[in-house]
Structure 1
Amino acid sequence: MRSSRYFLPTLKETPADAQIASHRLMLRAGMIRQGAAGIYSWLPMGLKVLRKIEQIVREEQDAAGAQEVLMPTIQAADLWVESGRYDDYGDEMLRIEDRHGRKMLYGPTNEEMITDIFRKEIKSYRDLPKNLYHIQWKFRDERRPRFGVMRGREFLMKDAYSFDLTAEDGQKSYNAMFVAYLRTFARLGLKAIPMRADTGPIGGDLSHEFIVLAETGESEVFFDKAFDGLDPMVEAAAGADLQPIVDEWTSHYAATDEIHDADNCPVDAGNLITGRGIEVGHIFFFGEKYSKPMNATVQGPDGDTVPVQMGSYGVGVSRLVGAIIEACHDENGIVWPEAVAPFKVGLMNLRAKDEECTAACDKLYQQLTAAGIEVLYDDTDTGAGAKFANMDLIGLPYQLAVGPRGLKNGVVEVKDRKSGEKLELTPEEAIAKLTA
């Protein structure tokens, strides 16, 4: 994509209302624009990142045996009345009426709707287990929406729901999602630590939240340094017993500041790591909380009708964009992990009016594109300093700079955005490095 044609409205100055790094950088890098408090439009570069994160989340859900559906954003209030949550959920729920006076709501989550779908279609234990998920926009009317996409009112979320015959089977579904989450966050270039959590309005008595470490995180976290030796890219063969993996990850101490007790911490000071973290995922097993009041039952092997055992599993897809930036930035801008970067290479023509520079850049652009590399080609007639600053701001993994001085010596400059390492290479060597 040529910059001269791309819609990328970057900002030199930081908007006054942007309080944290991800909000500042997403606005400055032209990724989002605010439409109303806590509600954002996603511009081309922001949307590219959002879709890449969404796809990694989807791939790991599919690999874990979950099946994708798509439920609407607007739900009938009757289902929530039936489950007992319509009045209990609180002011975060946006309650509305249609033209016929029917009570509706903009879904903050989907336990009721998926339970209704399940109970109408599944009647026998022979059809279990099932795990259904979707990736859909949600709305929660935050009292104080702030921090950009980190605490907005409208957000994109992956929510999955498992249905099992027994609590033991339900634990297996929970474990499968636990491992899928470890893999998902690792693929996104993040270090995520599972921590036992309060179930809140979702309900149940088993829950873990996944916390990504970031210096600007919203919560202070405490955890055993033994986590450093654990590999999140766990190979989980179909049908394998995942309990030992879950046990390994949950046997080490990890707590947010809300529940950490310094006087009774089981980890000695030499092995306790303190940092800050951002919640990016939350999983729950709540048994019969929804299936019982909503009569989601199946006929068991002995002929008796029993409520199914349920769990739910959420990942904040749009929130992850902000979380990745919070964990991956420096004083000059974003530093994207390659897996989610909007483009892999930022190609800069440092002298757009120079015919030799333009010809060399055009050739490099064609070669990289033909090799399947996503390139943002800055072909604009602006100063070299502004081009370098802009590329640092948007944070693509590699920068490829072509200028008349280098071309006279037969070289171009390749910069690794994360390490800052710069190499002078021939154009052929640069292509080989960037396509390796």
Structure 2
Amino acid sequence: MHDIRAIRENPAAFDAALARRGDAPMSSDLLSLDEGRRAKILAAETAQAEQNKASKEVGAAKARGDDTEFERLRALVSAKKAEIAEMNEAAKALDAQLTDTLARIPNLPADDVPDGKDEADNVEVTRWGTPRSFDFTAREHYDLPSVTPSMDFETAAKISGSRFVLLSGAVARIHRALAQFMLDTHVDANDLTEVNTPVLVNSDAMYGTDKLPKFGEDSYQTTDGKWLVPTSEVPLTYIAAGHVIDESYLPRRYTAHTLCFRSEAGSAGRDTSGMLRQHQFEKVEMVSVTLPQDSDAEQKRMLRCAEDLLERLEIPYRTVILCTGDMGFGARRTYDIEAWLPGQNAYREISSVSTTGDFQARRMNARFKPADGGKPQFVHTLNGSGLAVGRCLIAVLENGQQADGSVALPQVLAPYLGGKTTLAADGTLI
């Protein structure tokens, strides 16, 4: 959510920042709504003062026996009461319109975010590992002989429709091991607090974390009005909603492993093969709530937490900073980590780490109390994938594939797999 006062103070800067995202100027329309709202509020306050004055004079006129003045003042009080109600109702309607309009405007990009139209304009900032050279044609994950029997799209489609998958046997266990490895690393090495969150949330939580109103079609809503989480960013971030937190209590760093649900309404025809883009998937999420002056450093810290997981798994990756045209709605700055997938001969996104500044905090009224006793200020919130479990499974399977169809698994997963280090060609762990 944007601060209308900041727009009043510098409308040209607001429009210039929107233009970097490819959006048309909006300050004029916003300020027109704001001026209309403030005018109605002022009119109501003026009428209230006039009503109060007339109310005091009614008694005096009655005491003097001035029936004409008494009736005039009583009629004035009644008229002012109706006028106040009308002005307040008009101000309320304009305020709701202004709030709804502001809620649909994306966050403004940080100054260091590169300008661009789409993913082709993203800028690589680092690269780790060297993609392996194969002496055979690398296959995609779902074509590996050791994987195919345990990755069943046909039965899942019979049960739930397209873009679902049934994992079984050793592949299901590797998938579970990856999530456990991620959580343990975040808790033990990265000092994040593990949280077991609901996957059903209310509309306030979705709105507060900028998923509503604009992107309701991308999520699933139940018949009683609740929403299946698109990511545990929603419940983790909304923990701070409505609170005034002591400065000494920050930063708060959370992690959670949950099912996630997305309708993928805007991705028709994209990544229809395999389990790269599913309606239901699992993710280990990271969320931080920080002081404003610490949020940029916190984003770099979260980015390293995600990158470190891939390094421990020995998966080559590259990190890019997203351009203005490719950033998500609520992001002020986003880094994507893209894992190397030999089967596609391409880097594909496996994590996004974003700072929203105070964009979400304003929507959910999350503030902190400065240690010096100053006025409460809005916190900054950040979120990042650490990591997408299904996509990480794809990367592990494709990077570890062998000529005979087996898969050499990362050593860090062995403790979670009973010491096993290989997915054999027959689909068993050895």
Alignment match of 2:320 (pick from 184, 195, 218): 195
Letter of the 1:282 counterpart = S
Alignment match, 2:175: 50
More contact order relative to length (CA 8 Å, sep ≥ 6): 2
Alignment match of 2:331 (pick from 197, 200, 204): 204
TM-score where L is the length of structure 1: 0.57
Alignment match, 1:382: none
Alignment match of 2:235 (pick from 91, 97, 113): 113
Q: Secondary structure at the match of 1:58?
A: helix
Partner Cα distance (1:28, 1:294) in 2? 44
Shift of 1:175: 1.9
Are the counterparts in 1 of residues 402 and 408 from structure 2 also a CA contact under 8 Å? no
Going from structure 1 to structure 2, the CA distance change for 1:44 and 1:393 (only over 3 Å counts) comes to: closer
Q: Is residue 87 from structure 1 mapped to residue 87 from structure 2 by the alignment?
A: no
Alignment match, 2:279: 153
Alignment match of 1:76 (pick from 177, 202, 205): 202
Shift of 1:277: 0.9
Q: Is residue 215 from structure 1 mapped to residue 334 from structure 2 by the alignment?
A: no
Cα offsets for 1:355-402 (capped at 9, x unmatched): xxxxxxxxxxxxxxxxx74499xxxxxxxxxxxxx9335486x7xxxx
Partner Cα distance (2:228, 2:221) in 1? 7
Going from structure 1 to structure 2, the CA distance change for 1:205 and 1:394 (only over 3 Å counts) comes to: same
Q: Secondary structure at the match of 2:394?
A: helix
Task: Write out aligned runs for 1:23-34 (5 A).
Answer: 23-25=142-144, 28-34=147-153
Letter of the 2:309 counterpart = T
Are the counterparts in 2 of residues 138 and 155 from structure 1 also a CA contact under 8 Å? yes
Alignment match of 2:394 (pick from 322, 327, 349): 322
Alignment match, 2:384: 313
Alignment match, 1:243: none
What RMSD in Å do the two structures reach over aligned CA positions? Answer: 3.0
Partner Cα distance (1:69, 1:321) in 2? 23
Shift of 1:307: 0.6
The answer to which structure has the higher helix fraction is 2
Cα offsets for 1:212-254 (capped at 9, x unmatched): 123333xxxxxxxxxxxxxxxxxxxxxxxxxxxxxxxxxxxxx
Alignment match, 1:282: 352
Are the counterparts in 2 of residues 196 and 209 from structure 1 also a CA contact under 8 Å? yes
Alignment match, 2:61: none
Gaps of 5+ in 1: 1-19, 218-274, 346-371, 377-389, 399-436
Going from structure 1 to structure 2, the CA distance change for 1:321 and 1:373 (only over 3 Å counts) comes to: closer
Partner Cα distance (2:360, 2:170) in 1? 40
Higher Cα radius of gyration:
2
Partner Cα distance (1:135, 1:154) in 2? 13
State the number of aligned residues.
278
Are the counterparts in 2 of residues 193 and 210 from structure 1 also a CA contact under 8 Å? yes
Going from structure 1 to structure 2, the CA distance change for 1:70 and 1:122 (only over 3 Å counts) comes to: farther
Letter of the 2:328 counterpart = P
Shift of 1:89: 1.4
TM-score where L is the length of structure 2: 0.58
Alignment match, 1:126: 248
Letter of the 2:174 counterpart = V
Going from structure 1 to structure 2, the CA distance change for 1:146 and 1:288 (only over 3 Å counts) comes to: same
Q: Secondary structure at the match of 2:359?
A: coil
Going from structure 1 to structure 2, the CA distance change for 1:127 and 1:44 (only over 3 Å counts) comes to: same
Going from structure 1 to structure 2, the CA distance change for 1:120 and 1:215 (only over 3 Å counts) comes to: same
Shift of 1:338: 3.4
Q: Secondary structure at the match of 1:311?
A: strand
Percent identical across equivalent pairs? 17
Partner Cα distance (1:135, 1:211) in 2? 20
Cα offsets for 1:179-218 (capped at 9, x unmatched): 212221011121122111256435222211111123333x
Partner Cα distance (2:421, 2:358) in 1? 50
Cα offsets for 1:4-51 (capped at 9, x unmatched): xxxxxxxxxxxxxxxx72122388543332323222232121221012
Partner Cα distance (2:428, 2:311) in 1? 19
Task: Write out aligned runs for 1:11-410 (5 A).
Answer: 21-25=140-144, 28-34=147-153, 35-36=156-157, 37-62=162-187, 63-82=189-208, 84-89=210-215, 91-98=217-224, 103-119=225-241, 123-142=245-264, 143-144=268-269, 146-166=272-292, 168-198=293-323, 200-217=327-344, 276-302=346-372, 303-314=374-385, 315-339=387-411, 373-374=419-420, 391-392=424-425, 394=427
Partner Cα distance (1:82, 1:181) in 2? 25
Partner Cα distance (1:185, 1:177) in 2? 13
Are the counterparts in 1 of residues 232 and 260 from structure 2 also a CA contact under 8 Å? no
Letter of the 1:216 counterpart = G
Gaps of 5+ in 2: 1-138
Q: Secondary structure at the match of 2:235?
A: helix
